[in-house]
Amino acid sequence: MSKRMLALFMFLFSYSILAQQILPLTATGSGGTTTGDKVAACMRAQDRANINVTNSCFSKNGQLIDLRFSDCKCHKKPGSKDDYNCDIIAYGKCQLAISYHYEQMIGVGIVNTMHGDTSSACFFAQDRALREAQNRCAWVYGQAEGYQFGPCNCVKIPGPNYEYSCRSDAYLQCRVQN
């Protein structure tokens, strides 16, 4: 594959992908009344629990799904005849969206060989190039998803020996979290 085709291929696949992660959340809400109305105190507690769990999810750039509430538990305020404090727990699932994009990492491998063994030199040059591209991907906390080698070019080193310098490039597709 030519470098132009590979560049076009990498460009076409350099879009963002959404992966999803579900995070369980719980939040407590409390409500009280001074009129003896347990229903109103439970409604306040439920509203506050709902707000707390929703804010917790939104702060993580998520969307709240599957919201449920525990039973409302009320108890009299100390020293009061008809004043109540009520508590309720909200259980929800927060769907987080994680976006990724692709970057092309290029590694270059150069190996010198003696005795004219260019096939081994090309193999080791490709290995070095791939390791360099993988290291570049790891440096940005990416995940390697595919690679391709460019052609291996060997040039005779001037002198009386049969020494060659061989070079190869590795083109690696690296998935990186935004």
Encode 38-74: b = buried (16+ Cβ within 10 Å), e = exposed. Answer: eeebbbbbbebbbebbbebbeeeebebeeeebeebeb
Rg (the chain; Cα; Å): 31
The structural domains of the chain, with segments of one domain joined by +, span 3-16+100-177, 18-98
Superfamily of domain 3-16+100-177, CATH level 4: Protein of unknown function (DUF541), domain 1 (3.30.110.170)
Distance separating alpha carbons of residues 136 and 172, to the nearest angstrom: 10
* Cβ–Cβ < 8 Å for 172, 146: yes
Lowest mean pLDDT among 25-29, 30-34, 108-112: 30-34
Per the rule left: phi > 0, alpha: psi between -120 and 50, beta: everything else, 136 is: alpha
Under CATH, which number does the domain 18-98 receive? 3.30.110
**Mean predicted confidence (pLDDT) in 67-78:** 90
Per the rule left: phi > 0, alpha: psi between -120 and 50, beta: everything else, 34 is: alpha
Q: pLDDT digit string (tens) for 7-23? A: 444 444 444 344 568 88
Helix (H) or strand (E) holding 55, with range, is: helix 38-58
Q: pLDDT digit string (tens) for 106-140? A: 999 999 987 888 999 999 999 999 999 999 999 98
pLDDT of the residue at 107: 93
Q: pLDDT digit string (tens) for 41-65? A: 899 999 999 999 988 888 887 888 8
Q: Which two tokens stand for residue 66?
A: 């599957």
* Cβ–Cβ < 8 Å for 123, 175: no
Residue whose C-alpha is closest to residue 54's, from 41, 69, 42: 69
